[in-house]
Amino acid sequence: MLGHPHEDRPLSIEEYLILQTFPLHYKIAGSLPQQYRQVGNAVPVLLAQQIGCSLHQTLKKTEPV
């Protein structure tokens, strides 16, 4: 668990969502421990987007069988 850099507290769910590049309006459901688990298990949004774009470009270059 990461701690806040300037305050003596853990990061909030909202702060973790920002670090994971989720949109600012994004909401997750469940109890607080479930929310922390969901954010911790998530793939950062911009990373997933870049992987998807890379795969798409690779597949476009591949000749059909």
CB atoms within 10 A of CB 12: 13
Quick one: pLDDT band at residue 3, thresholds 50, 70, 90?
A: confident
| Contact (Cβ atoms closer than 8 angstroms) between residue 38 and residue 30 | yes
Q: CB burial class (10 A; 0-12, 13-18, 19+) of residue 21?
A: middle
Instruction: Examine the pLDDT at 64 and tell me if it is beyond 80.
Output: no
Residues 4-61 have pLDDT tens digits of 788 888 899 999 999 999 999 999 999 999 999 999 999 999 999 999 999 999 998 8
Residue 47 lies in a domain: yes
**Is residue 50 in some structural domain?**
yes
Higher-pLDDT residue of 64, 11 = 11
- Is residue 4 one of the residues assigned to a domain? no
In a domain, 54, yes or no: yes
Query: For residue 25, what are the domain limits?
Result: 13-61
Q: Is 42 helix (H, G, I), strand (E, B) or coil?
A: coil
Q: How far apart are CA 44 and CA 18, in angstroms?
A: 9
Domain assignment present for 8: no
